[in-house]
Structure 1
């Protein structure tokens, strides 16, 4: 492999997948937690390449340029995270499966960037999509039909308990259907006939019956997620608003709702086109074909309701890599609790807010581990407390989606009242929700509900975790500061938070008494004052000079 991509012992827990789709390329970097049988996204990047824009049977020179530019961006990010070369997997789908110059393109990618491209068969792509769905939804014990609409093909897979019973790939994608039937005017009737014929000819419905059918249907593609988002955002109406009650439906939709969106999407005229482009952005070019295709699939297979997964091929590649790296010890069905946290965080946080949440959780963990070295807090912090704290960090800003003031209060209500966190007790949900509620603004009072309803031990733990998340949120949102390390100074029973300039090398020889006070510094000092008042211990903040 290219000499710039080397193994690094400090990055052994980082894994990367690159999904070279027909429409877009996606990069995913995760931090794996083998003991917890889970992974946390560290970095996501998506590039609109459209490999088959100029030709359906080969990768044009223009597409190759776009592809290599996107992969170069991905490589730069991979290098910045020091991901080991044996933890990187790059896969390609339908556009490269069909390309006459597949071999030449794959060789060019390796020669220019050092990335080995694995061109998946349709059946293998379907299997990996199923693995990705299992990382997101609690459907391991059920017979589930997964449908993934890509740019050049649609994958169908039936699986149960991690085993694939049926995998079918049809050359029906939102990009190739758009190119065939919408380039020179909209030909919806011909497109529907073409889709129906392809499904009938594949005997897909008969194959599903022969495999004993399915209990649940899950859609996992960007097209399906966009349709679900359109339904819950009120697309096609004059009112766009977040409805908290709607989010209790747990991201699913029925045949009638789908038909309503398709009808609106197929309306002709400049006004509808402007509405479509404004709502679906870059996906607007292909959303009509994708929605019509999904509607025909519902009809052909007798589907009445579909649940939506945020995870798909990229996450399935990660799960497959983890299973191989840890020699079969990676449990596809483990840690349903944590996956419900990640499911809620992923659904309500956009890309930017999710990155902030990841950073917040990383800072909180460092502070938690540093404080846990001290056994003089009248309470022992354990791994479950770290789980609650990290969950609160990932969910602390989900309330922003409501568009209402006091997003920390909105985050509390979504967690507390939404029935989203599975396998947690009522008290655990309350604790996580309270940590998001008191991440900012007023410090909680121990003698007031609902804090006073906790046990004495839980109250003590809550206060420590509350201080940690408040410090972490301040550092996470700071444009200037970041955490370098936490030191426990045992002889003086004090702690030291060593800060650094964000995106720079740490400078630890400064002191908070030697720098001009910044707003972030003043907020930190307020939290340090809370720490001193509550625990009678010193916490020194070392600012970069």
Structure 2
């Protein structure tokens, strides 16, 4: 199947968005209950499910001050988009794996009696010719009604999830979300937003398809310079170059091809960009970024509490990636507890990450173990007014 062009609608910011969607995390959050069956303590519970190209992930959480406390979680590699690049459709095997995972999610939602939910599907279902039929099948067989969100909503939710990690002295922020089937880049100008107001402004941000609203009036000075959804993620990029045997050759081809696909992104074309690097922050959210962080720390067992929010220099990231490209690639991946079936996805994700660092050199990348699920939870709770300290 031919690659589709990057989705980059004209940007505008409008008021508070409707429901949203969060991403992944199976490790207990700070303050989350450990061991035994989680208890909600009578609090209102929220569920957020993200069905992506490679994984099905869900969080069930309760509001806790300015954030939330995880009550239950689920994460499963379902490979929904396997062979989608070649066939253009979701396979029967992939559908079967995914339905089994969604049955588990439906059971958890019922068991916890969750009433406030946001369940979304992304790139694989957007691209597959049988994507709509599959989502109807999901509803029939599991009772779950998944919302097929567009790239603008996907990008917005990823940014919302990262709002707590924005540095107070940053004026320009690039959030990158490397998914299984697509990669979202959102460039924010927050120089005119007071540090104490930035989280609230980002929570209220909405990416619209067309210009025409006043972004400053809608979001307290926050501006979106540009955003893009590149239809290449770790799974789709790997499939496109799977026939190249040599790791370094495949890596170089993936990096070149990804850079070509984001060529229309305004910050990529803008020759004046180096002028803002002194106040520039890059935040990366994805399994690729957290894997690089864990590898840099030498972890043999993943620990979200030390990875989420950590900072990596460009040199440190390049050193880890260079190690991935060596002859001991599978051994290094195995040390991280990552199955060999996912090893090649780490390589394609690393090609995307290193391409972005080459285009926009930065002293530090902020690592975010969070994404669409967290974004959905923050958005729902903010809309309900239950985040007591969300400023």
Structure 2 length as normaliser, TM-score?
A: 0.71
Which residue of structure 1 lines up, in the alignment, with residue 8 of structure 2?
A: none
Partners of 1:241 and 1:43 lie apart in 2 by 21
Which residue of structure 1 lines up, in the alignment, with residue 331 of structure 2?
A: 274
Which structure 2 residues correspond to residues 391-406 of structure 1 after superposition, within 5 A?
A: none
Say whether 1:137 aligns with 2:165: yes
Q: CA 1:297–1:274 in 2, change beyond 3 Å: closer, same or farther?
A: same
Give the one of 14, 22, 32 matched to 2:53. 22
Partners of 2:42 and 2:255 lie apart in 1 by 49
Give the one of 96, 115, 133 matched to 2:144. 115
Q: In 2, are the aligned partners of 1:127 and 1:167 still within 8 Å (CA)? A: no
Q: In 2, are the aligned partners of 1:31 and 1:41 still within 8 Å (CA)? A: yes
Partners of 2:147 and 2:166 lie apart in 1 by 29
Give the greater-gyration-radius structure (CA). Answer: 1
User: Secondary structure of 1:314's partner?
Assistant: helix
| Residue 140 (structure 1) shift | 7.0
Give the one of 298, 306, 322 matched to 2:357. 298
Which residue of structure 1 lines up, in the alignment, with residue 383 of structure 2?
A: 324
Q: In 2, are the aligned partners of 1:226 and 1:280 still within 8 Å (CA)? A: no
Partners of 1:206 and 1:331 lie apart in 2 by 41
Partners of 2:344 and 2:150 lie apart in 1 by 27
Q: CA 1:275–1:225 in 2, change beyond 3 Å: closer, same or farther?
A: closer
Which structure 2 residues correspond to residues 247-262 of structure 1 after superposition, within 5 A?
A: 251-262=310-321
* Relative contact order, higher structure (CA 8 A, sep 6+): 2
Q: CA 1:155–1:14 in 2, change beyond 3 Å: closer, same or farther?
A: same
Partners of 1:200 and 1:89 lie apart in 2 by 33
Which residue of structure 1 lines up, in the alignment, with residue 230 of structure 2?
A: 170
Partners of 1:12 and 1:319 lie apart in 2 by 16
Q: In 2, are the aligned partners of 1:24 and 1:47 still within 8 Å (CA)? A: yes
Say whether 1:188 aligns with 2:245: no
Q: CA 1:30–1:105 in 2, change beyond 3 Å: closer, same or farther?
A: same
Q: In 1, are the aligned partners of 2:280 and 2:362 still within 8 Å (CA)? A: no
Cα deviation 1:68-93 (Å, max 9, x = unaligned): 10000111111111111xx1111111
Superposition RMSD on alpha carbons, in Å?
2.9
Give the one of 109, 118, 136 matched to 1:89. 118
Which structure 2 residues correspond to residues 519-538 of structure 1 after superposition, within 5 A?
A: none
**Unmatched 5+ stretches in structure 1:** 1-8, 235-239, 335-545
Partners of 1:279 and 1:221 lie apart in 2 by 16
Q: CA 1:305–1:276 in 2, change beyond 3 Å: closer, same or farther?
A: same
Q: In 2, are the aligned partners of 1:93 and 1:120 still within 8 Å (CA)? A: yes
Partners of 2:388 and 2:272 lie apart in 1 by 29
Which residue of structure 1 lines up, in the alignment, with residue 280 of structure 2?
A: 215
Q: In 2, are the aligned partners of 1:11 and 1:81 still within 8 Å (CA)? A: no
Q: CA 1:97–1:110 in 2, change beyond 3 Å: closer, same or farther?
A: same
**Unmatched 5+ stretches in structure 2:** 1-39, 191-197, 206-222
Which residue of structure 2 lines up, in the alignment, with residue 458 of structure 1?
A: none
Which structure 2 residues correspond to residues 459-478 of structure 1 after superposition, within 5 A?
A: none
Partners of 1:189 and 1:133 lie apart in 2 by 29
Partners of 1:190 and 1:216 lie apart in 2 by 27
Which residue of structure 2 lines up, in the alignment, with residue 199 of structure 1?
A: 262
- How many matched pairs? 307
Which residue of structure 2 lines up, in the alignment, with residue 99 of structure 1?
A: 128
User: Secondary structure of 1:32's partner?
Assistant: strand
Cα deviation 1:59-113 (Å, max 9, x = unaligned): 11111111110000111111111111xx111111111121111210111111111
Q: In 1, are the aligned partners of 2:179 and 2:234 still within 8 Å (CA)? A: yes
Cα deviation 1:510-534 (Å, max 9, x = unaligned): xxxxxxxxxxxxxxxxxxxxxxxxx
User: Secondary structure of 2:47's partner?
Assistant: strand
User: Secondary structure of 1:323's partner?
Assistant: helix
Cα deviation 1:135-167 (Å, max 9, x = unaligned): x42547844211111111111113442146133
Partners of 1:320 and 1:259 lie apart in 2 by 34
Say whether 1:75 aligns with 2:106: yes
Partners of 2:308 and 2:159 lie apart in 1 by 22
Q: CA 1:249–1:119 in 2, change beyond 3 Å: closer, same or farther?
A: closer
Q: CA 1:332–1:149 in 2, change beyond 3 Å: closer, same or farther?
A: farther
Q: In 2, are the aligned partners of 1:59 and 1:99 still within 8 Å (CA)? A: yes
Which residue of structure 2 lines up, in the alignment, with residue 357 of structure 1?
A: none
Q: In 1, are the aligned partners of 2:180 and 2:236 still within 8 Å (CA)? A: yes
Q: CA 1:185–1:97 in 2, change beyond 3 Å: closer, same or farther?
A: same
Which residue of structure 2 lines up, in the alignment, with residue 312 of structure 1?
A: 371
Structure 1 length as normaliser, TM-score?
A: 0.52
Which residue of structure 2 lines up, in the alignment, with residue 38 of structure 1?
A: 67
Partners of 2:353 and 2:102 lie apart in 1 by 30
